[in-house]
Structure 1
Amino acid sequence: MTGSARVTATRTSYDTVAASYQRLLADDLATAPLDRAMLVAFAEEVRGAGGGPVGDLGCGTGRVTRFLRDLGVDAFGVDLSPGMIEVARASYPGLRFEVGSMTGLALADGSLAGALSWYSTVHMAPEELAVVFGEFHRVLAPGAPLLVAFKIGDERVRLERAYGHEVDLDVYRYPAERVASLLAAVGFTVTARLVREPGPEQATPQGFLQARRAE
């Protein structure tokens, strides 16, 4: 499958599952204290540096965007899937959500005080990750934090059914060191990392890296 065909398949799959995704995951952070802790630490760093706009890049249905806003962060969401954005706007009408691609964000250089990638790169091969991390670096202000959540492993998994629907997705799992090295290669410094064991509905450990764009 070509890169463009994979993007189309990913968009279509998430358009299909959007309503079910929100119904199943809207409150998933309530039972994930370590995940919440990483988000709280990220929000505190953004606020401590004076605040400003924060992009939830690959926001899905906006549940984490809402969580950040509740922490006092000026968060907005961007996602590839129009279906996910439609659900996000309906679920959280006080927040801003836009359709867009992480490979070419419609954001000015250095315009963000922080960026979040909450499992939004799990369908990207290594060469695509490098491009996306470079784009994150471009839109972040010098010294601004980035938080990346991802699935730990070293493999590509084919996914043909999810959230009660047929889908057409490849899921990539990466060692934490691989993700850290890709971030470093585009100009980030990793400041914190967490690997936790899988939850009840998860097959592998989960990884979290917080990084900062160089001044």
Structure 2
Amino acid sequence: MSVDGWLADTRSSYDTVAASYADLVRGLLADTPYERATLSLFADFVRAAGGGPVADVGCGTGRITAHLAGLGVDAFGIDLSPGMIEVARRDHPGLRFEVGSMTDLDLAEGSVAGLVAWYSLIHIPDHQVAPVLAHFRRVLRPGGPLLLSFHVGNETRLKTQGYGGHPMKVHVHRRQPAQVAAWLRESGFTVEAQMTLASAESALGGIIFGRSQPVA
């Protein structure tokens, strides 16, 4: 896997904070009913399409992967940070977790029935979003549901400390839903629904449901 500067910084930052991150976010879904509802709806879409493996890309310590599994979805997680994956495997030993990057997604074409990127696109710079979405479309079955969540805004901030006060070096990109939806359409997805909300997950978060279209 080719790792340039920002990707290496993101990986090492989350390796550093993995244990503290897990402790701080473990119970967030209990306080976010709207997010739980979107995950439940996504699981319904996967089942309605016949089921199959679902990739949680940028899974962190596995809390969303585990929640989807609890909804009856065959979910597995992928994350850039080996430290995060180590904690995910520790906390959710019955589930599958792999180290990997959404910028070079090592999954076969059409191999997943659904894909979630839960606040994980936030560290991807603008010039890398289209290649990432192309990977998402490639690995999704035609018509497969996609669920994205992200921080809403118009700025990029360098995060130098977080999750228990540990040092970090990651850029956090806040984007408008219209921009993310436009990128999805340009990448061959239909956009079915979008919303913004404030919750424990984000001061202002965006959620978009999309579906992959057949690759020409």
Task: Give the Cα–Cα distance (whole angstroms) in 1 for the partners of residues 115 and 201 of structure 2.
Answer: 26
1:181 to 2:182 alignment = yes
Task: Give the Cα–Cα distance (whole angstroms) in 2 for the partners of residues 68 and 161 of structure 1.
Answer: 30
Task: Give the Cα–Cα distance (whole angstroms) in 2 for the partners of residues 45 and 21 of structure 1.
Answer: 30
What corresponds to 1:208 in structure 2?
Answer: 207
**Does the 8 Å CA contact 2:150/2:207 hold for their aligned counterparts?**
yes
**Does the 8 Å CA contact 2:60/2:79 hold for their aligned counterparts?**
yes
Query: How many residues get paired?
Result: 211
* Poorly superposed stretches of 4+, deviation over 6 Å: none
More deviation, 16-25/121-130: 121-130
If the length of structure 1 is used for normalisation, what is the TM-score? Answer: 0.96
Task: Give the Cα–Cα distance (whole angstroms) in 2 for the partners of residues 12 and 177 of structure 1.
Answer: 31
What corresponds to 1:134 in structure 2?
Answer: 134
3-state SS of the aligned residue for 2:209? Answer: strand
The Cα offsets for residues 62-115 of structure 1, whole Å up to 9 and x where unpaired, read as 000000000000000000000000000000000000000101111110111000
CA apart distance, 1:11: 0.2
CA apart distance, 1:119: 0.6
The Cα offsets for residues 128-160 of structure 1, whole Å up to 9 and x where unpaired, read as 111111100000000000000000001101111
CA apart distance, 1:194: 1.2
What corresponds to 2:103 in structure 1?
Answer: 103
- AA of the residue aligned to 1:175: Q
3-state SS of the aligned residue for 1:103? Answer: helix
What corresponds to 1:172 in structure 2?
Answer: 173
What corresponds to 1:14 in structure 2?
Answer: 14
Q: CA RMSD in A?
A: 1.1
- AA of the residue aligned to 1:207: G
- Structure 2 residue runs of 5 or longer lacking an equivalent are none
3-state SS of the aligned residue for 2:196? Answer: strand
Task: Give the Cα–Cα distance (whole angstroms) in 2 for the partners of residues 166 and 103 of structure 1.
Answer: 24
Task: Give the Cα–Cα distance (whole angstroms) in 2 for the partners of residues 96 and 201 of structure 1.
Answer: 24
CA apart distance, 1:27: 1.2
3-state SS of the aligned residue for 1:171? Answer: strand
CA apart distance, 1:200: 5.4
Task: Give the Cα–Cα distance (whole angstroms) in 2 for the partners of residues 45 and 94 of structure 1.
Answer: 24
Percent sequence identity over aligned pairs: 51
Task: Give the Cα–Cα distance (whole angstroms) in 2 for the partners of residues 201 and 69 of structure 1.
Answer: 20
3-state SS of the aligned residue for 1:122? Answer: helix
If the length of structure 2 is used for normalisation, what is the TM-score? Answer: 0.95
CA apart distance, 1:201: 7.3
Query: After the TM superposition, which residues 23-172 of structure 1 pair with which residues of structure 2 at under 5 Å, given as runs?
Result: 23-164=23-164, 165-172=166-173
Check 1:41–1:201 CA distance in 2 against 1; reply closer, same or farther (3 A cut). Answer: closer
What corresponds to 1:191 in structure 2?
Answer: 192
Task: Give the Cα–Cα distance (whole angstroms) in 1 for the partners of residues 64 and 173 of structure 2.
Answer: 21
